[in-house]
Amino acid sequence: MDEIKSGVIVIGGVAVIMALLGLYMLQGKGTFLIAGYNTMPKEEKAKYDGPAMARFIGKLLFALAFSMLFWLAGMLLEKSWMFYIGVALFLGFTGAALIYMNTGGRFLKRPSASEHEKNK
């Protein structure tokens, strides 16, 4: 029982931290927390819409925290199938986010109409 109690505390704490970080990033802040983006040179960062990327990561953090609630419920109710659903959701959200972020240039800055006219 002690293992379950400590597991619930740890997983619950991580889920709360993820939700709080999600709130912060939904405001378009926190790009320094995004691995890869924070290590880019300034010229490369200028090509990306950092606030949009931060908002997406904020939504992802909420989804991951939600999936962790299934882990908690599975541990507390001693239902392993709930834990496995949570793991599947966690992995599914992570995989979908990786695909979404790395395809289609979704977070590249688009030139405004005035900038587009200047380049003609």
Tell me the pLDDT tens digit for each residue of 33-67: 888 888 889 998 889 999 999 999 999 999 999 99
* pLDDT > 70 fraction of the chain, expressed in percent and rounded: 92
Q: What are phi and psi of 38, to 5 degrees?
A: -70, -15
User: What is the pLDDT, as a whole number, of residue 36?
Assistant: 85
Query: Is pLDDT larger for residue 116 or for residue 16?
Result: 16
User: What is the pLDDT, as a whole number, of residue 94?
Assistant: 96
Can you tell me which residue has the tokens 């800055």? 109
User: What is the pLDDT, as a whole number, of residue 117?
Assistant: 60
Long-range contacts of 40-44 (CB under 8 A, 24+ apart): none
The domains of the chain are located at 2-109
